[in-house]
Structure 1
Amino acid sequence: MSNMSMSEDRIQLTEEQKRSRRRRSVAIGLILAALVVVFYAITIIRIGPNLTGGG
């Protein structure tokens, strides 16, 4: 086991890597939000007729 502190043992990202990671995180967040909207819409479409007695 080494005597290095945790800060010395960490990997330092370049600014380009940080921007790339940020863009990827935003893209994943947007995709997840879109999936939530799609599942919500599908649920409303499928349940809608049952709520009005037309099911």
Structure 2
Amino acid sequence: MALGREHELHTRRRGRNLGLGLTLLAFVAVVFGLTLAKIGGGGGMQAFDHAPRSELVPETGK
């Protein structure tokens, strides 16, 4: 039995696996890009940590 020759079923399966792999890679890239876009502009955001912060208190008119 020759090992060099592939059955037609294996060729079709390889094509489907490649398509699925590329689709999953594109999905991961989109999620990663959205994550970077969402946290990229949040440099001025501050979390609530139960500590008073003077920069979060609104200024009173003088």
TM-score range for the pair, normalised by the shorter chain length: 0.5 to 0.7
The runs of at least 4 aligned residues of structure 1 exceeding 2 Å deviation read: none
TM-score by length of 1: 0.67
Q: Percent identity?
A: 25
TM-score by length of 2: 0.61
How much is the aligned-residue C-alpha RMSD, in angstroms?
1.7
Structure of higher RCO (CA pairs closer than 8 Å, 6+ residues apart): 1
**The structure with more radius of gyration:** 2
Structure 2: state its 5+ residue gaps.
46-62
Structure 1 or 2: more helix by fraction: 1
Structure 1: state its 5+ residue gaps.
1-8
**Equivalenced residues, count:** 44
